[in-house]
Amino acid sequence: MESENIAKFQEIVSRLSPEKKRELHARMKGMSKEEAMALIDRMVEISEQHKVEITARPKVLAASGRVAEPSGRTDYEVREPRTEIVRKAPESRKLEIVSDPRPRRTAPRASRPAQTPIKKTMPVSDQAARDKIAKQIEQKKIDEIEAELAKQKRVEIAKRAGKFALVCLGRVLATVGATLVIVLAGFYAFLGIIMKGPSEHLRDQFVPSVMESSAGGILAKMILSDEEIDSIMNSNTTHEFTEITNTTLVNAMAAQQTANAAADAVAVNELDPDGDGIEVHDISGPMYHGKMLVIYDPSRIMVATIDNYNHNGAGLTLKELIEKYGGVGGINGGQYEDTNGMGIGGWPEGIVISEGKLRMGNPGGTYEVYGMTNENVLVVGRMTAQYALDIGVRDAVSFGPALIVNGVAANYSGSGGGLNPRTAIGQREDGAILLLVIEGRKTSSMGATMADLIDVMLEYGAVNAANLDGGMSSAMWLNDEELVSSSSIRVSRQMPTAFIILPQKDGSAADEQVAVN
């Protein structure tokens, strides 16, 4: 009986909703076995009562079809509820029911012996097996309920975690956005103070500095109009020369004709202790520092260039250009395509002459030409490419402006430009070549103006000098050592041209000078 009630109870539970199942499971979880069985029996009993249909009608005597005489009590029959289909009889088959006039005989009620229900005895082994199966079924149902509850709990936890993550992300983005707005507002206010503040000198230093860079001009345009920028630039500029170098003013072999040979020999030994014909000098000023190379023999200077020019192609680093031609050192060269400071050095601009060949530029085109002639004289000036070839220019590039021409320094207004990394080339009257590179855009060296370059070149005796490509391209190498690094935040800048120093030759001007002494 117990196993039957368990089976019925499981059937009842299977028809319940998930909520009712959870409530029932929670209710039975703390019950003892006896309490649980009592609950199961009660639920089965209630279920059976709902299923039973009790009908009360007189019993019909067996095999007679007659109704038993009333005996003072009513017997009941218990039947399972059923659904009957009532068919409506045709009008022709309707019968008229009349009462039977015959008297009914009353039969004495016979006493019936008490009937004892017969109980079927089930083997103990079968009962145990059924109990085991019932428990397994019950446990499976419980496990299913617990699994459903665990699933719902996981879903709820996931929803809460998602909401928490979204809240955190929103707060982080809001914080970053607010910080960015504050920084931008502060930076904008800082620019306004510099360019609209009381210090005109600070403004005149800052505006040319950013306008000379590839991408920094936008900073000035954020605060100032184009008319204001033009006015500041015009008041801080270097004026162009109309004349070009007079080659007769430079004696490239003057080192062999020095009057005081002994004194010069001592000086050469002190300034060139390793005897490679190159002096290395530290250069410094209020806002900058850099290096100056003095090369005694001007024939060692040439323009190194890449093999093919391409707008989408890449140039070579300064070190790679030096190695390509077997040089011992060098500096960056002329102008090249560098849109928004993102150029990769594949396309030079202006003129390029290397080893006597016109590599870039039209013969009839006019360019700023800075380079060496076949007589090893530095030529500085504006001329056509054909004229440059006619006067024997063998290696040259374009940039500007010219700093010193025929011993006369360029006129400039204000500071002559902003504070930036700078590269320049010059030549002394005795023919020695001056290669100057100034570091810039660093906390240790802000950079130099054009006026600073002119002062340094005059100090070192230049009779002709010109500004070369600067900014992130400015760099200097000597004997596999980077003496001045570029300000590029990327790897070493790639470029199409460079002025390089070839190895020292036997019988060079410097060696001949020492030999004479």
DSSP string, 419-435: SB-EEEEEEETTS-EEE
- Closest Cα partner for 241 from 424, 368, 362, 384? 368
383: pLDDT strictly greater than 60: yes
Phi, psi for residue 208 in degrees, rounded to 5 = -60, -35
User: Is 299 in the same domain as 414?
Assistant: yes
The better pLDDT of the pair 307, 124 is held by 307
445 found inside a domain:
yes
- Confidence at residue 340, expressed as pLDDT on a 0 to 100 scale: 76
Q: Determine how many CB atoms are found less than 10 A away from the CB of residue 479.
A: 12
Least confident of 64-73, 189-198, 459-468: 64-73
- Confidence at residue 486, expressed as pLDDT on a 0 to 100 scale: 75
Domain count, the chain: 2
Q: Which domain range does residue 194 map to? A: 156-234
66 found inside a domain:
no
475 found inside a domain:
yes
Q: Mark which of 234, 267, 296 sits at the end of a domain.
A: 234
- Closest Cα partner for 429 from 262, 247, 293, 243? 247
User: Is 215 in the same domain as 169?
Assistant: yes
- Confidence at residue 256, expressed as pLDDT on a 0 to 100 scale: 44
- Confidence at residue 20, expressed as pLDDT on a 0 to 100 scale: 84
The better pLDDT of the pair 392, 114 is held by 392
**Please, which residues bridge with residue 396 across strands?**
353, 371
Residues 131-181 have pLDDT tens digits of 888 888 888 889 889 898 999 999 999 988 988 998 998 989 898 888 888
Q: Does the reported pTM lie above 0.75?
A: no
- Confidence at residue 515, expressed as pLDDT on a 0 to 100 scale: 39
User: Is 333 in the same domain as 204?
Assistant: no
- Closest Cα partner for 287 from 137, 453, 83, 483? 453
CA 354 to CA 436: how far, in whole Å? 21
141 found inside a domain:
no
Residues 405-464 have pLDDT tens digits of 999 999 988 777 889 999 999 999 999 999 999 998 888 888 999 999 999 999 999 999
Phi, psi for residue 37 in degrees, rounded to 5 = -65, -40
- Binned at pLDDT 50, 70 and 90, residue 272 comes out as confident
CA 312 to CA 493: how far, in whole Å? 15
488 found inside a domain:
yes
424 found inside a domain:
yes
- Confidence at residue 44, expressed as pLDDT on a 0 to 100 scale: 85
User: Is 213 in the same domain as 253?
Assistant: no
Q: Mark which of 192, 212, 234 sits at the end of a domain.
A: 234
Residues 6+ apart with CB under 8 A from 426: 378, 403, 404, 433, 434, 436, 457, 460, 462, 463, 464, 465, 466
- Confidence at residue 509, expressed as pLDDT on a 0 to 100 scale: 44
Residues 6+ apart with CB under 8 A from 208: 232, 233, 236, 237, 414, 415, 417, 418, 449
User: Is 312 in the same domain as 410?
Assistant: yes
CA-derived radius of gyration, the chain? 54
Supply the mean pLDDT for the chain: 81
CA distances in angstroms from 498 to 275, 477, 478, 494, listed in the order given: 24, 11, 13, 10
Q: Mark which of 175, 207, 234 sits at the end of a domain.
A: 234
User: Is 457 in the same domain as 491?
Assistant: yes
DSSP-H helix ranges across 72-212: 124-196, 200-211
CA distances in angstroms from 140 to 2, 44, 153, listed in the order given: 19, 20, 20
User: Is 224 in the same domain as 265?
Assistant: no
User: Is 364 in the same domain as 457?
Assistant: yes
Instruction: Tell me the two tokens of residue 359.
Output: 């590599």
User: Is 182 in the same domain as 261?
Assistant: no
- Closest Cα partner for 212 from 487, 496, 490, 456? 487
Instruction: Tell me the two tokens of residue 321.
Output: 């250009």
Q: Helix (H, G, I), strand (E, B), or coil: what is residue 294?
A: strand
229 found inside a domain:
yes
| Residue 19 burial (C-beta neighbours within 10 Å; 0-12, 13-18, 19+) | exposed
- Binned at pLDDT 50, 70 and 90, residue 75 comes out as very low
Residues 250-259 have pLDDT tens digits of 886 654 444 3
User: Is 215 in the same domain as 304?
Assistant: no
Chain centre distance of CA 349 = 33
The answer to whether 274 and 280 have CB atoms below 8 angstroms apart is no
User: Is 458 in the same domain as 434?
Assistant: yes
User: Is 254 in the same domain as 363?
Assistant: yes
Tell me the HSE value of 208 on the side-chain side, using a 13 A CA sphere: 27
101: pLDDT strictly greater than 70: no
**Please, which residues bridge with residue 343 across strands?**
none
DSSP 350: S
147 found inside a domain:
no
- Binned at pLDDT 50, 70 and 90, residue 399 comes out as very high
- Binned at pLDDT 50, 70 and 90, residue 55 comes out as very low
